[in-house]
Amino acid sequence: MRIALVSPYDFPYPGGVTEHIVALANGLKQQGHQVKIWAACSGYQDIVYPDTQAMTRTITPIPVGGTVARVGLSPLSYLRVKKILQQESFDIIHLQEPLTPSITWLVLMLAHTLPQTVTIGTFHAYHEKPNWFYKHGRPVFSKFFTKLDGLIAVSQAAYQFACQMFPGDYHIIPNGIDLNRFGKTGSNGHLPALNKKITLLFVGRLDKRKGFLNLFRAFLELKPDYPQLRLQVIGPFKANASNSYQKIAQMYGVSDIDFVGYVPPEQLPAYYHNADIFCAPSLGFESFGIVLLEAMAAGLPIVASNIAGYRSVLVDGQEGLLVPPGQVPALVTALRCLLDHPSRRQLMGQQGYQKAAQYSWDYIVEKTLNVYKSTIQQNSKQQTLSAHIQRRPANHVQRSRTQI
């Protein structure tokens, strides 16, 4: 099949949707399918993915759910999308977050006119409260929603959130993990020895909703009792974003906080492999938890917030510990529990690896292909039925209605 994967976001900028698309594209190619990626591309960190076509380089920051989404939005992209659609004959156009005001709208408008092309939408988002933007813009969003032939949600939480506003027949297909990449035997990176320090790892942006401030406070409280404890922070943040945290740490006489910043994908697994505990203190708005899967694949025990998206991946007491979001004392208690019991850390890490194996990309790609094939079959039947109805004489249709 010829497949286009479409992202509404700035594709080179690190994020869960980007990771999802790259892994899905690689899996589909391994199955022998032809894949193109359409996205906005700002050139962040000069990252270039194979088979990626930049639909626009205009990036619009949109605040949403305690973070800032870098959306590719430009009316000038219309002609580019139209030209490519005319040149390419895609069997599937698979859009991530299809209702996000972005190039996905342009693709949906134009692709809907191609009878042999099937459109699939994957919904990733989750909010604890109904989304104001979706609620008040429902008349507009509904017009685009009806242009989708197939629906996917990455978790039960994402399904429930999407279905509130846009009911439909959704397939739940979770995000996946590359065990060869993140498993310790498959490390593609190398880091120097860490002098036997106990490393607490955070991977994510320093946005409010990621809850890093709470982890920082917990670390300040724990450090005096655990001199060998260190905090390593990885994410796409600017160097000066850590200045305020470093000043506060100095005031408390606390060291061993390493703000690494952005890490290239090929080096990221090595940081997981050299850590001892992974922490995801997000306050909410998480539909899944790709970073949890990465940590599990690396055999790390986890302390994470007890929120819907994380509960769909992690069972409290098995692969890690869940704590109330935003509660620093609870976070401290959970971290102490793992710091004081190395054997429990090891057991949770082993159970986490077993859980991660259930989310291998081979399995995810197969399920996605099944949705593609079933949607194509359904679309073909609908077209055949429509053509048959159009060929029937009007008086025959009238007689049939009268008989009924």
- The pLDDT tens digits of the residues spanning 184-238 come to 754 444 444 444 789 999 999 898 889 999 999 999 999 999 999 999 999 988 8
Tell me, what's the pLDDT at 55? 85
157-188, pLDDT tens digit by residue?
999 999 988 999 999 999 999 998 998 754 44
Cβ proximity of 238 and 314 under 8 Å: no
333-342, pLDDT tens digit by residue?
999 999 999 9
User: Domain ranges in the chain?
Assistant: 2-176+360-391, 180-358
* Fold match, 2-176+360-391 / 180-358: yes
Q: Is the pLDDT of residue 36 over 80?
A: yes
State the DSSP code for 15.
-
Average pLDDT estimate for 69-96 = 87
Where does 180-358 sit in CATH, by number? 3.40.50.2000
Cα separation of 222 and 26, whole Å?
Answer: 42
**pLDDT bucket at 274, cuts 50 / 70 / 90:** very high
Mean pLDDT of the chain: 87
Tell me, what's the pLDDT at 235? 93
Q: How far out from the chain centre does Cα 55 lie? A: 21
Tell me, what's the pLDDT at 130? 62
Q: Is the pLDDT of residue 127 over 90?
A: no
The model carries a pTM of: 0.81
**Overall fold of domain 2-176+360-391:** Rossmann fold (3.40.50)
Cα separation of 398 and 327, whole Å?
Answer: 67
Q: How far out from the chain centre does Cα 137 lie? A: 24
Among 44-53, 79-88, 101-110, 279-288, name the one with the lowest average pLDDT: 44-53
